[in-house]
Amino acid sequence: MATMTYQVQVNPSGSWTTVTASDILEEVSVQEGLGGSADAPLRFGDQSKARASLKIKRSALPSPWRNCPIRITLMRDGSSATDYAFVGLIRSYQGDENELTLTCEGFGGVISKTRDYSPLIIRRALFTKTALAITDDPTDAAYAGGIGNWLLWQAGGRPLEWSGTYTNPTFYYSCDQALLASPYSWVSAEDAWQELQELAQVSGGQIFQDRKGVIRYKSILSLAGASSVGAYSASDYGNITVQVSANPVVTGAICPYQPRLPRPMQDVVKDDLTRLIVRGEPLTLEYEPDWPLLAVQTGATTNQLPADAFQICYPSGVLATLGTDFSHTLDVDAQHITVVITNGAVGQDLHFYKLIIRGQPVLAGAQGSITVGSGTTKQTLTQSPLIQEEAHARRLAQLYLQIASIERPVYTLSDILYHPTPSAGDVVTVTNVTMGLSDTRCVIIDRQSPDGGLTMNLQVVPIDDLPGTNDYFITSTSSQVATKYIAY
């Protein structure tokens, strides 16, 4: 009989410590998934799941515990301690004087709290591939990351491929190159995790946390083209069930879009609220223009507004001079401007009367929509400001239709002997004569181990019909003498 032990490590203060084995009580359960369901097994960008719960002795609760990083390994017959079954954060607990049940979740909660203003990114894939040869640091002059990468970095993540350099980030992330790019992409202090879900949705991909705590973005074609990590036949699982949606397959898809159009330099901020700029106390002004900005008009000095943007005076009414009587800093994001004015006048307060900032806004044009497919069962895709071109809308709709136009049952293979691999997002082959599955390639959309690692249940969806990345012509320095697909 297999022996189950657990390794639980916590990191309350910047370094990992292992919880004493005897302090870990039973009732360890882990779950990770892409978020699909029978109604939409491969829906783009759905809410993914990464959860764990375990019971420990009260004395083993780390301090501080809230959002304390935790990683759990279900060690079966001495398997590797780094085959984590869950990496995430302690979110809550309940119990009595002796025992506590910890509820743990993935990093989505932390990412959700990130609300930053991004620069305007122009005509770039919404997620760009992470690699050792590609910088993902937005402060790097060579930065060419997508808006999704930017959000992940701002949330404290670092590319998994750079783990040698960044050894203790909040989390690691790893991204495929997204299939779709928007002409203009930006974020303005929204919930970063929701934003990432939307980005995955409009780029034909999935974003999820794997069992090792890595936030992964995968395009649907990358998911479909992955190599199989395991084969499951009737002897491997105790039971197999199937669930098919009551909804009919989709025969058409409607995708709305809204073009974005850059406009000439014009007034984008007009602030005429009179204020006092006290000696020694900088005045910080923050603005959110109505539209994202392609550029802001600066003066003779780079990264500074022109002098005639300001109307700042001495109490006597004499105009104060930029550079002599006051100075300022300018920080411009896509839809957020911060101006910090410092009074440099000797012995006097200054009066702020007006500030006009000129910029090039990117306006929203008239909305449109496209329809692909035919028939009566049409699905309207979610509207997003990131779908800005008819071509993008068409391609997204065709990708969606390719996936949703055939019936995709969700199979649950239960009572499988636990093994750290496979993980959600992995591809396996499944055989079941009765169900008509014969080495059928399937993607794992959910994995659970409810009994503390003795067994695991896999929810899988067939993807035999979907081509993978290798089936397409790609941009590469290698010669491609072959017949391959051109994607939508």
Partner 1 sequence: MPIPYITQPTWIDSVSQIHSATDLNTMVRNAQWLDMVSFPNIPSFDYSHEEPDVVYQGSSNTKGDKRFWWGAGQLRTGMTTLTVVGTLTKYGSETLQIFLNGSGTASATISSNGAFTQTITLPAFTDGDILTVEVKKIGSSAGYGIYRIDDAYLTPLPTLPTSWPGVPTFASTYNQTLLNQLTAAADWLLARINQVPLIPHVGQIEVLASYKPHPSVAAEPFDYFPVYQGSVLRLHSTDRLRVVAQVRNRNNPSEALDVYVNGSIAATATISPGVTIHSFPITLSHTVGTRVPVSIRQRVITGNERPGPQINTRIWLVRCTTEPNASGHAYSSAPSLYTGNVAISNTTHNTKLNAIASTLSAVKARIDARPEYWSRVRLMRRRYAIDEPEYNKGKNISRHPMCFDTRRGDRLVVRGKDVKLCWGPQIVKNNEETGEPNYEDVSFTHEEQIIDADKIDTKTVYLDAYDSLYPSTVYYVKGADVVYAAEYYV
Contact positions toward partner 1, by CB under 8 A?
123-125, 128-129, 131, 133-134, 176-177, 179, 181, 183, 221-222, 259, 261, 263-264, 363, 365, 389, 391-392, 394-395, 398, 402, 467, 469, 472-488
Closer by beta carbon to partner 1, 324 or else 477: 477
Structure tokens at 460: 């899988």
Closest C-alpha among 466, 473, 445, 471 to residue 224: 466
Q: How far is the CB of 403 from partner 1 (least distance, A)?
A: 12
Spatial distance between the Cα atoms of 329 and 416, rounded to a whole number of angstroms: 61
Three-state SS string over 420-467 comes to CCCCCCCEEEEEECCCCEEEEEEEEEEEEECCCCCEEEEEEEECCCCC
CA distance 185 to 292: 9
Please say which residue, 27 or 471, places its beta carbon nearer to partner 1: 471
User: Which of residues 114 and 405 has its CB atom nearest to partner 1 in the complex?
Assistant: 405
Cβ proximity to partner 1, 175 vs 330, nearer residue:
175
Query: Please, what is the minimum distance in Å from the beta carbon of residue 479 to partner 1?
Result: 5
Closest contact distance (angstroms) between CB of 262 and partner 1 is 9
Nearest approach, Cβ of residue 487 and partner 1 (Å): 4
Q: Judging by DSSP bridges, how do beta strands 368-373 and 293-296 pair with one another?
A: unpaired
DSSP 8-class letter at 152: H
Q: Cis ω on the peptide bond leading into residue 41 (within 30° of 0)?
A: no
Whose Cβ is closer to partner 1: residue 51's or residue 129's?
129
Q: Which two tokens stand for residue 17?
A: 């410590």
Q: Which residue in the block uniquely carries the two structure tokens 């507004």?
A: 305
List the Cα angle 72/73/77 in 5-degree steps: 155
Considering beta carbons, is residue 374 or 478 the nearer one to partner 1?
A: 478
**Contact status, residue 50 vs residue 31, Cβ threshold 8 Å:** yes
Beta bridge partners of 173: 159, 215
CB of residue 254 to partner 1, shortest distance in Å: 17
Q: Shortest Cβ distance from residue 389 to partner 1 (Å)?
A: 7
Minimum CB separation from partner 1 for residue 62, in Å?
40
Give 237's strand partners.
none
Nearest distance, CB of residue 332 and partner 1, angstroms: 22
Nearer to partner 1, 392 or 408 (CB): 392
Sequence-separated (6 or more) residues with CB below 8 Å from residue 168: 14
- Looking up tokens 């959860």 gives 51
Q: Whose Cβ is closer to partner 1: residue 238's or residue 365's?
A: 365
How far is Cα 9 from Cα 382, in angstroms, rounded to an integer? 40
